[in-house]
Amino acid sequence: MSAEQSGEAENPPIRRLTDWDTGRLRELASEHGTPLYVTDPERVAENCARLRAAFPDADVKYAVKAHTGRAVLETVREAGLDAECASAGEVRRALDAGFSGDRVDYTAVNPPARDLDAVVDWWGDHPDLTVTVGARDTLDRLAERGYDGRVCVRVNPGVGAGHHEKVRTGAAPKFGVPYDRAADVVADAREQFDVVGLHAHAGSGIHGEEDLAAHRDLVARMGELAREIGDDDIEFVDVGGGFGVPYREDDPALDIRAVADATREALGDVAATLAVEPGRYVVADAGVLLTEVNTVKPTPEVTVAGVDAGMTDLLRPAMYDAYHAIRNLDREPGADASADTGPVTVAGPICETGDTFCDGRELPIPERGDLLAVGNAGAYGYEMASTYNSRPRPAEVRLASDVLRARETLAGVTRLEHGGRDE
């Protein structure tokens, strides 16, 4: 076996749900209760290393919105990735996790006044942070606040891709200045700001050939624009991230090296540094959601497995019709239980028809008390959790057992109604 093959064996391109240790997951559920997010920062570090190997000459920035937990952010920082932040809150969390200002980009999308106020205030202590703007209006609002620092101009290249229409950003008018006006916006911005880069993003969950073709098209357009405005006058061309992971058990893993090669080729000859900003790819397979079956209801068509997790804990299936692999940890080969299979609907406790993790999927027929694991929950899992139906948010623990985020209580949910104040 070659050294490269050995490295791939030690750091496979995807961790499937079946790769998680059943005994360890059971121990964590028993110790901490359910619903429970389990996160493995060591896997985060492995994913960062694979990205850096694929893009050795690029600036790899982690899209913080995928998972903002302190342990994840510190792991990403230590692995050498920078931080791309979609809100002032994410900027603050990145700085608190030890990122220096020169490693933080704030991608402002229709930013609220309080966000701009906060970021400009922090800029005083971190003058090397970068603000990415997608509208002339945002440039004006920054100038009004006395900001004259580093700016990156976000461009709408008219090319979108991704796993669902709601996350295809590259052609949506909400994102970026129109491509044919970008050069003028850059020229005007240079009169007041230090314009250091260009930015575009096709969408989230880019995985199939059609999506990858759209990504290459976007990159090529950004290379053309960089050369038009003077690529030796900017530091970087950021072509976004959105690199997908295989959510279905039989889907192949993304060949990230091939994507990197195609990205460099599509960008063409530019003096500026290539930048990418993956999020999902870094953390998706580093997390699982554990949930316990509390109600089993046979029906003529399916067995309904009622569980204690719901769309308030993992929103993606309800919001995007997203597929997540599911394991019944108590009804697998070798488990002390039967493993008869049939169509199973895994449904949460929320009073919404959409509150299901799967509908009629062929799974082991569950019994009350069985422990289920939901895979690829590390990206946009806890981050999109809510307190709808006054349900406290779940706990998150490290695979090595220590608590990363405590389980929320009902008192925590209602504290602002009783005189509680934010820090």
For residue 373, pLDDT over 90 is answered with: yes
Number of domains in the chain: 2
d(CA 359, CA 377): 18
Q: How many Å from the N-terminal Cα to the C-terminal Cα in the chain?
A: 54
For residue 3, pLDDT over 90 is answered with: no
pLDDT for res 242: 80
CA 125 to chain centre: 28
Which of 282, 305, 335 is the last residue in one of the domains? 282
Backbone angles phi, psi at 147, to 5 degrees: -80, 125
- Summary mean pLDDT of the chain: 90
- Active-site positions read 351
pLDDT band of 97, cuts 50, 70, 90: very high
- Same domain flag for 239 and 258: yes
For residue 4, pLDDT over 50 is answered with: no
When pLDDT is averaged across residues 19-37 and rounded to a whole number, the result is: 97
Ligand-binding site membership of 316 (annotated): yes
- Same domain flag for 145 and 224: yes
pLDDT band of 299, cuts 50, 70, 90: very high
pLDDT for res 292: 98
Ligand-binding site membership of 37 (annotated): no
d(CA 66, CA 155): 22
**pLDDT tens digit sequence for 101-125:** 999 999 988 999 999 999 999 999 9
d(CA 17, CA 21): 9
**Any domain includes 159:** yes
pLDDT band of 256, cuts 50, 70, 90: very high
pLDDT for res 244: 85
pLDDT band of 309, cuts 50, 70, 90: very high
For residue 423, pLDDT over 70 is answered with: no
Q: Which tokens in the block code for residue 313?
A: 């804990």
- Same domain flag for 246 and 324: no
Ligand-binding site membership of 279 (annotated): yes
Closest C-alpha to 9, from 50, 54, 66: 50
- What separation in angstroms does the CA of 294 have from each of 34, 349, 371? 11, 10, 10
Ligand-binding site membership of 278 (annotated): yes
pLDDT for res 5: 45
61: domain range?
41-282
